Every structure is written in structure tokens, then in C-alpha cells.
Amino acid sequence: MRRSWVRLGMAAAVVVAVALFAAGRGDVVAAMLLGALILATGRAVFRGYSVTKGPTGPPVDVEEEGTLLVFACETCGEQLVLLRKGTDVPPRHCAEKMVLRRIPTPSSNPDPRYN
Ligand SMILES: [Zn+2]
């Protein structure tokens, strides 16, 4: 149903463009074509942002003995501790994918100052 309306609109646009071209207003046709090209480019670019990578399964606890799973941003140094994992896709920070690291938990640190 929606496809037929799109085709009807495109056919109407072609008819209007031919009529304007015949009436000596080729500049209007060029402007409409340029506008359509910009609109199509914008939609193609922003369509990628609206698609999210959903969960790959039920969330699972990622507890490991003696280590913490930490997502680190290599640009600004921010670190996030991962407790439950719902997807394999790493989070983003500073427009970059964060890097997963394993760091020892403070309680497993042999240095008594950290216990
Ligand atoms: Zn960052």
C-alpha cells in the first residue's frame, strides 16, 4: 500500500517536472532534483544511526574470580565496570568503541594497603 503511494508521488513529481521544463522553468526542476538528492543522502546517512544492535541473548552475569571486567575509553581514560552483559557490542565513549580489560579486584591485590 505504502509502495503504491510512493510510486504515485514519484509519477506526479515527474509529470510536474516535465510540465515545468516545458514551460521554460528548468531551474525549478534542477532545484527539485538537487533537493531530492540531498533528502535521499540525508535519509541514507541517518538511517544507520537509528538502527541499534539489540541484545544477543538474555543478560548474563560476568563475574570472574579475582578480576573485574572493565570497559575503558582509550581517548579520555574513563572506565566502567561490567557486571551483567546483555550484548556483545561494546559501549561507545568519545565516539569510539570502549576496550574490554581485565583488572585484578582490589581484594585480590597482594598489597595490604588495598585490602
Ligand atoms: Zn571517553
Cα 90 to middle of ligand 1, angstroms:
13
Most confident of 5-14, 40-49, 71-80: 71-80
Distance 93 CA to ligand 1 centre (A): 4
Using a 10 angstrom Cβ sphere, with 0-12 exposed, 13-18 middle and 19 or more buried, the burial of residue 98 is buried
For residue 75, report the distance from its CA to the centre of ligand 1, in Å.
Answer: 5
* CA dihedral for 39, 44, 45, 48, sign (positive or negative): positive
In this prediction, residue 109 carries a pLDDT of: 54
**Cα 56 to middle of ligand 1, angstroms:** 25
The 8-class DSSP code of residue 66 comes to T
**CA of residue 95 to ligand 1 center, whole Å:** 8
Which of 32, 38, 41 has its CA nearest to residue 10?
A: 32
Please tell me whether residue 10 adopts helix, strand or coil conformation: helix
Residue 8's contacts (CB-CB under 8 Å, 6 or more residues apart) are: none
**0.85 cut: is pTM over it?**
no
Compute the distance from residue 83 Cα to the ligand 1 centre, in Å. 20
Ligand 1 centroid to Cα of residue 94, in Å, is: 4
Tell me how far the alpha carbon of residue 81 lies from the centroid of ligand 1, in angstroms: 14
CA of residue 72 to ligand 1 center, whole Å: 8
| pLDDT one-digit tens code per residue, 16-61 | 888 888 888 888 888 988 999 999 999 988 887 777 667 777 888 8
